[in-house]
Amino acid sequence: MKNKYGLPYFVLLFSLLLPNGFINARPSGKKTKLEFFQPGQSWPDQDGNHIQAHGGGILKIKKNYFWYGEQRGKGLDPKFRYVSCYSSKDLLNWNFRGNVVKMLPPDSLTAGWILERPKVFYNAGTKKYVMYFHLDDKGYKVAQVGIAISDKPDGDFKFVRRFRPLGHESRDIGQFIDDDGTAYLVFEDRPYGFRIARLSKDYMDVEKEMTLVKAHMEGGAIVHYQGLYYSIGSALTGWNANPNKYATAPTLEGPWTEFRDIAPPETKTFGSQSTMLIKVTGSRKTTVIFMGDIWRPKTQYDSRYLWMPLELGDGKLSLQEPKPWKLNVKTGESSMVESQITEPASNKK
């Protein structure tokens, strides 16, 4: 007997028992299955809801990627701040794992307090997932990091403490894990520039400054690629896009080169702001993804993402004009999708 999909019923029944990937491929199945990245478009998770993981960070555990970010969905209780968690095996199709932080303001912080740019590190020694985030008051004067921990990647994370790393002001933060597994925090220190500092052994503190880059930049992101460190940051223009820039250095301590534009400056980074650089090392190639936020300050629930593979090597880095593209996380290869279609049926909810 056949149904409207032209498949025998036992095939459909069997598909329900298989892992998500197969179910997603069903023509009218409820799960969304994306084939390629569409920078700047609405990005549905597997339930068809626009991903809420702004100013986020990516953690890789074995073959699973976790994306943590600011949950700015509609209808949230304004007293709380939320951090969302999504998981994926291909960096494209994301499964919402819940809000892993739902937090009231800690001690003296009051209404309008800020929790932004969460980043999670996994500490193999303590087996704890350690989240750092920017914690602040309404006027962004407190300038601290907060730490919350969990035994599992999808929470719940419990708030531990807040402080200024190494005694310095800290607003936008970024995370960087070097090829040797060492974990670093990147943080913007308004009077001086931005700092890259190593975390303590248990990741519960910021222990050693590697460098102070005397450039007033935020949204700091680092990647180690072919023996060179590349750092990207944005200018301090709040929610408004600006031309993001990059510098390189042979070691994290520097010396860092001058900062140069990552994209034609008039495009203001194609309307986005840097958040993280994701290195995908596959069997054939390594792709470095620029992970940026396209903020919509009046409708934050609809803020978008700009993820694009970067062109980099020999000390040069550039972000090309955003286009639909594909990634194979196994081989590490990425390619542009040549068709002119901007909203293909397969990418619709």
User: Shortest distance, CB of residue 55 to ligand GAL, whole angstroms?
Assistant: 5
User: Shortest distance, CB of residue 218 to ligand GAL, whole angstroms?
Assistant: 5
Q: Which of 58, 218, 303, 308 binds ligand GAL (CB under 6 A)?
A: 218
User: Shortest distance, CB of residue 168 to ligand GAL, whole angstroms?
Assistant: 17
Which H/E stretch holds residue 31? none
**Measured from the CB atom, is 34 or 173 closer to ligand GAL?**
173
Phi, psi of 138, rounded to the nearest 5 degrees: -55, -40
User: Shortest distance, CB of residue 107 to ligand GAL, whole angstroms?
Assistant: 21
By CB under 6 A, the residues from 159 to 178 that bind ligand GAL are 172
Contacts of 250 (CB under 8 A, 6+ apart): 227, 228, 229
User: Shortest distance, CB of residue 231 to ligand GAL, whole angstroms?
Assistant: 15
Phi-psi region of 40 (alpha: psi -120 to 50; beta: other; left: phi over 0): left
Instruction: Confirm or reject binding of residue 219 to ligand GAL (CB under 6 A).
Output: yes
Q: Which two tokens stand for residue 8?
A: 């025998």
**Measured from the CB atom, is 14 or 239 closer to ligand GAL?**
239
Torsion 289-295-300-301 (CA) sign: negative
Which of 228, 200, 197 has the alpha carbon at shortest distance from 317?
Answer: 228
User: Shortest distance, CB of residue 259 to ligand GAL, whole angstroms?
Assistant: 17
By CB under 6 A, the residues from 262 to 291 that bind ligand GAL are 273
In angstroms, the CA 342 to CA 166 distance is 47
22-56 as b/e, with b when 16 or more CB fall inside 10 Å? ebeeeeebebbbbebbbbbeebbbbeeebbbbbbb
Which H/E stretch holds residue 295? none
Q: If 0-12 CB within 10 Å is exposed, 13-18 middle and 19+ buried, where does residue 13 land? A: exposed
Binding mask 74-113 for ligand GAL (x = CB under 6 A): ----------------------------------------
Phi, psi of 313, rounded to the nearest 5 degrees: 150, 155
In angstroms, the CA 197 to CA 324 distance is 35
Which of 175, 80, 92 has the alpha carbon at shortest distance from 130?
Answer: 175
**Measured from the CB atom, is 114 or 327 closer to ligand GAL?**
114
In angstroms, the CA 263 to CA 36 distance is 22
User: Shortest distance, CB of residue 323 to ligand GAL, whole angstroms?
Assistant: 25
CB contact at 8 A, 34 and 346: yes
The residue nearest ligand GAL at its CB is: 238
**Measured from the CB atom, is 96 or 133 closer to ligand GAL?**
133
Q: What angle do CA 54, 93, 294 make, to 5 degrees?
A: 30
**Measured from the CB atom, is 41 or 242 closer to ligand GAL?**
242
**Size, binding site for ligand GAL by CB under 6 A:** 9
Q: Which of 69, 99, 116, 154 binds ligand GAL (CB under 6 A)?
A: 116
User: Shortest distance, CB of residue 115 to ligand GAL, whole angstroms?
Assistant: 10
Instruction: Confirm or reject binding of residue 243 to ligand GAL (CB under 6 A).
Output: no
Instruction: Confirm or reject binding of residue 55 to ligand GAL (CB under 6 A).
Output: yes
The binding site for ligand GAL (CB under 6 A) comprises: 55, 116-117, 172, 218-219, 238-239, 273
